[in-house]
Amino acid sequence: MSVNRTELVQAVAAKAGLTNADTDKALKALQEVVVEQLAAGGSVSIPGFLAVGRADRAARTGVNPQTGEKLEIPAGYRVKITAGSALKRAVQG
């Protein structure tokens, strides 16, 4: 089962006693802060829940699956998400 953004906003609003509009604003603000921090090379951590950071990815050689041609993939960054202890316990049951 998956929860989309609308369902997430409604569920959080109900638990927090907020309006859907206020909850949506807060969720957008959280998204903006995380994106800004990652773009600046930082990370965001919510203890017990999750940590989001930026990790380096080395340059490597790849293969085009259609042609078999080798190509160089430049170095870059990836998003690294680590589950916190409370989230891990919840998944384990």
Q: Are 41 and 54 in contact (CB under 8 A)?
A: yes
Separation of alpha carbons 53 and 79, rounded Å? 6
Residues 24-57 pLDDT 10s: 999 999 999 999 999 999 999 999 999 999 999 9
What's the domain range around 45? 5-92
Q: Name the band, by pLDDT with cuts 50, 70 and 90, for residue 62.
A: very high
pTM of structure = 0.80
Number of domain units in the chain: 1
CATH of the domain at 13: 4.10.520.10
pLDDT at residue 21 tops 90? yes
Residues 75-92 pLDDT 10s: 999 999 999 999 999 999
- Of 40, 51, 10, 49, nearest in space to 27 by CA: 10
